[in-house]
């Protein structure tokens, strides 16, 4: 539950942002990260940016999220 997702701020008005991660776009707020600017990569948790993150780190997390989604979708036991 505490996994935050890296996303790029593509719109920003006051503390209301639209962010993009892996092509998915959604609304988020920058209330907890006042220094966030348009174009920044940020970690989003439960609708809020909580930290600035760099490109390399974002890529690693996106990959992990894809793997965790696989994990959640695994219906049966995995052998071996």
Partner 1 sequence: MLEQIYKAQRLMDAACKKMGRPINIMEVCGTHTVSIFRNGIRPTLPKRLKLLSGPGCPVCVTDQSYIDSVLQLADHDDCLIATYGDMIRVPGKSGSLETKQSSTNVKIVLSSEDALQLAKDIPDKTVVFVAVGFETTAPATAVAVKEAAAEGVDNFCILSGHKLVVPAMRTLLSEKNHNIDAFLCPGHVSVIIGFGAFAEIVEGFGRPCVVAGFEPLQIIEGLGAICQQLAEGKAKVQSIYTAVVTKQGNTTAQKIIGECFEAADGYWRGLGLIEKSTLKLKDKYSRFDAVRRFDISEIPAEDKSGCRCGEVLCGLIEPPECKLFEKTCTPDTAVGPCMVSSEGTCAAWFKYGRERCR
- 39: nearest Cα among 62, 8, 17, 15: 8
Q: 58 with 39: CB under 8 angstroms?
A: no
Question: Does 22 participate in binding partner 1 (rule CB under 8 A)?
Answer: no
Interface map 42-61 toward partner 1 (x if CB under 8 A): -x-xxxx-xxxxx-xx--xx
Q: Is 63 a binder of partner 1 (CB under 8 A)?
A: yes
* Gap between the Cα atoms of 38 and 21, Å rounded: 14
Tokens of 9: 């701020």
Regarding 19 and contact with partner 1 (CB under 8 A), the answer is: no
Size of the site for partner 1 (CB under 8 A): 38
The tokens describing 29, both together, are 């707020």
Retrieve residue 57's tokens: 């780190």
User: What is the contact surface with partner 1 in residues (CB under 8 A)?
Assistant: 1-4, 26-27, 29, 31-34, 43, 45-48, 50-54, 56-57, 60-61, 63-64, 67-68, 70-72, 74, 76-80
């Amino acid at each position: 539950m505490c996994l935050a997702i890296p996303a790029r701020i593509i719109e920003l008005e006051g503390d209301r942002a639209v962010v993009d991660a892996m092509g998915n776009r959604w609304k988020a707020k920058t209330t907890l990260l006042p220094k966030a600017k348009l174009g920044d990569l940020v970690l989003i948790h439960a609708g809020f940016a909580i930290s600035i993150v760099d490109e390399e780190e974002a890529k690693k997390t996106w990959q992990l999220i894809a793997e965790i989604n696989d994990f959640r979708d695994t219906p049966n036991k995995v052998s071996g």
